[in-house]
Chain A
């Protein structure tokens, strides 16, 4: 096919969007809703994961040190901890600090604490944050082998619950996203089928005058792609506004972020390009392929 032919067909595709604007609008709406449904589900999942990750970060192992440990030995333990693979950060928590914290958190028993005087029954410890909580057990084992470590306290239950939760959330989210994607494909293919059906005369004439299948398909391809790209762009805008609104609601009104913890919700600015890119590519791809597949039945004349 010559270049002029390709140019003509591409122009036809653009013109068709306007000429068949009612059907194009229907395809656009279906694509938009599908992209939004799937996109928002993915965003929700990603954020939920990020929140779980945030909770993981809060999770720490406490390494209690021997009661009679010297300052030098304490530093040595600290060094060894820092060298370990699965450890993200450590902080020293002295027995003095522990005593003061305990005292202020139980103000009504101040007398008891005072009666102890300088006789601090607590011991020094390191607070250790680990990278991969599923490896907690192995890490605890190697922590136990360090000299002058008296005892380890790790939140095993918490770890197990979190890993279980992550698994369940992933399974449910994947199922929902796949189901939505399938439903979207079915609706989109039916919409484009209706659009193609409305123009079956045009297609049959093309066949009778000797048009090749490619010639017939290119305008549909271009048309579907344009519709998809526009749907992707609008979906990006809606997601952006909706996302910001929800984040604002959660931070300002409910203050829920502080309860479940931290800036674990991903700011939209950070993912705007990825979201826009994926939306537009998905829209263009589904729109174009959907239209072309729907023409197939009408090409066998």
Chain B
């Protein structure tokens, strides 16, 4: 669950990135966050990950109050979130398997669990055959599926996808969103930042539109595929 109450963020340069934003995303929801660049989407994401702190207002994510969260507790908090980057950010010196297993090693999971869990999430994203490939040997779409598997592997309550389709061929973008939808149906909250209106119109659902640091639209719309 993500909850923001009257949150403002002013950068030290004097720029108001977010202005009195209130937002609530319930457990199990799927929401698109849209808006032009510079509107405050990245700031919102950074806020939720506690990369930056709110200048004023309250931020609560997965039952952690980020206003009072100690620095030492940040790793523990981040383990409840999966993150998908626009540029995949896979480690080029590791195989697909290693890239995913890595997350579980970070949280000190037992080795037996790693050996069972990693092949399972790899099969969820349909890359069983690529387990021992290196990221450079994969297509953009495949790399992003690895990144999604990585976000998924420690069973987070919330997955944040920051423009996950931005570096991928348009026809493959739908596959990626469908994959995220599938994960959402299993109960994981998903927040997907995008500026591809085609995708949003196609899938529909909850749309949060940010403009100039304010939420200008927050409603559920029907998608084309359902109509």
Q: State the A residues within 8 Å of B (CB).
A: 1-2, 4-5, 8, 19-20, 201-202, 204-212, 215, 301
Contact = CB atoms under 8 A, between A and B. Distances in A.
Interface in B147-168: 150, 154
A126 to B, nearest CB: 75
Contacts of B51: 301
Given A1-B108, A4-B111, A5-B108, A209 B93 contact: no
A208 B161 CA distance: 12
Contacts of A202: 91
28 contacts: A1-B108, A2-B108, A4-B110, A4-B111, A5-B105, A5-B108, A8-B105, A19-B93, A20-B93, A201-B89, A201-B91, A205-B91, A207-B78, A208-B78, A208-B83, A209-B78, A209-B106, A209-B107, A210-B74, A210-B75, A210-B76, A210-B77, A210-B78, A210-B79, A210-B106, A211-B75, A215-B106, A301-B51
B103 interface: yes
B87 to A, nearest CB: 9
B75, B93, B154, most chain A CB atoms within 10 A: B75
A19 B76 CA distance: 29
B75 A212 contact: yes
A17 B173 CA distance: 37
A266 to B, nearest CB: 46
Interface residues of B, number: 22
Nearest to B160: A208
- For the complex of A and B, 9 pairs with smallest distance between CB atoms: A210-B79, A210-B78, A211-B106, A210-B75, A19-B93, A209-B103, A212-B75, A208-B83, A202-B91
B98 to A, nearest CB: 10
B49 interface: yes
A209 B79 contact: yes
Contacts of B150: 209
Contacts of A207: 78
Interface in B49-95: 49, 51, 74-79, 83, 89, 91, 93
Contacts of A212: 75
Contacts of B83: 208-209
A82 B111 CA distance: 75
A201 B88 CA distance: 10
A38 to B, nearest CB: 33
A205 B49 CA distance: 13
Contacts of B102: 209
Interface string B100-131: 00110111101100000000000000000000
A75 B97 CA distance: 90
B118 to A, nearest CB: 14
Interface string B18-57: 0000000000000000000000000000000101000000
Nearest to B51: A301
B154 A209 contact: yes
A5 B109 CA distance: 9
Nearest to B153: A209
Nearest to A19: B93
Which of A1, A210, A212 counts the most chain B CB atoms within 10 A?
A210
A71 to B, nearest CB: 87
B91 A208 contact: no
Q: Determine which residue in A8, A20, A206, A211 has the highest number of CB atoms from chain B within 10 A of its CB, and name it.
A: A211
Nearest to B111: A4
Q: Which of A1, A5, A209, A301 has the most CB of B within 10 A?
A: A209
Nearest to A16: B93
A20 B150 CA distance: 23
B113 to A, nearest CB: 11
Contacts of A210: 74-79, 106-107
B39 to A, nearest CB: 22
